[in-house]
Amino acid sequence: MDALHRLNDAVDGFLRSEKEFNLTDPATHMLVGGRFRTLGTQIGASVLAGVPDEDIAAIVQPARSACARSPFMRDEQEWARGYPSDYKLVEHVLAQANGAAPGTLGWHVEASLQSSAITQQQRNRVMHQARLISDVLTAPRNGPRSVLIIASGAAPDLRTIPPGIVRPGDRFVLTDVDPDALELAQKRLGLLNNFTTAVPGNIFRALGPLAELGPFDLVLVNGLYDYLNDRAAVRLTEAVLTRLCRPGGTFYFSSTGVGNPFRWPLEYLMEWQLIERDEAAVRALLPGCDVSIGREPTGLALLTHVRTRTG
């Protein structure tokens, strides 16, 4: 009962923000963000106290409805494109945009999220992938270089690469389940389109066509492991290492670490469920491999690098 009372109080406190704070002041997003985090903490405490999911959902529904005034959160609640964290949401996060009306609770919720670690880690993941692509293209090596990006979205990592470091014969291959994401990538890649091939579809159905375009010096997977259970993750990992990656090449993927403090508001207020793994769980997907695992600056995401055997 104590957990339920605290959760009710947190919901009420969050909703009172509209009356108690000056929403015309952009800096108020820090106060709203504080109450949003308190709400998330109390959701988590209720889960750990054994409160049934349906009871928690019923209590937080008014806060969930209020959060839906943020287009960022509404789209994630509704899975506007049929899957979580779609490419439009990623582009929105990367642009650090705010689509809500200024002076509203939705604006402050969105501003708080855009300045939080959960969105910054997404930007960090993309920047890290861009560095990996750049490293492949600038490393001393004869012959063309090839890069495969799985679950590429609109390829924000590749879009940062200056065309001047690309040589004739280099190839970039993008694959994504959403053809509109690949279409947007094509529109924004500019001169890099001359070196890029798009393969739409579910990754497991696309393995054959991708293998025909390989092998690849670098295979990147950004975020997809957040949604793959262990069986699917092992299946994809084995396919990359045996069918897609060149001997001596690099396979990289990012994933959400255990203990993500944003887990509860993501799940209960945004319908955004992630599969969290610690370092041991990640290594279990890669038995016998040369694996290096680090974290991006926020500490929320694990960055896994695998060097494939040369013989």
Looking at every residue in the chain, the average pLDDT score rounds to 93
pLDDT value at residue 48: 92
Distance CA(60)–CA(64), nearest Å, equals 6
176 three-state secondary structure: strand
301 three-state secondary structure: strand
pLDDT value at residue 171: 96
Do 210 and 151 contact (CB within 8 A), yes or no? no
pLDDT value at residue 1: 66
185-190 own/partner pairs: CB under 8 Å, 24+ apart: 185/152, 185/153, 185/154, 185/155, 185/158, 185/159, 188/154, 188/155, 188/159, 189/155, 189/158, 189/159, 190/163
pLDDT in tens, 35-73: 999 999 999 999 999 999 999 999 999 999 998 888 888
Distance CA(34)–CA(254), nearest Å, equals 28
pLDDT in tens, 13-22: 999 999 999 9
pLDDT value at residue 142: 76
125 three-state secondary structure: helix
pLDDT in tens, 246-305: 999 999 999 999 989 899 988 998 888 899 999 999 999 999 899 999 999 999 999 999
Q: Which two tokens stand for residue 19?
A: 């009356």
pLDDT in tens, 149-207: 999 999 999 999 999 999 999 999 999 999 999 999 999 999 999 999 999 999 999 99
- Whether this prediction's pTM lies above 0.85 is answered by yes
148 three-state secondary structure: strand
Residue 311 confidence class, pLDDT cut points 50, 70, 90: low
CA nearest neighbour of 266 among 294, 300, 302, 234 = 300
For the chain, the structural domain boundaries read 2-115, 121-260+274-307
pLDDT value at residue 140: 83
- CATH class, domain 121-260+274-307, is alpha beta
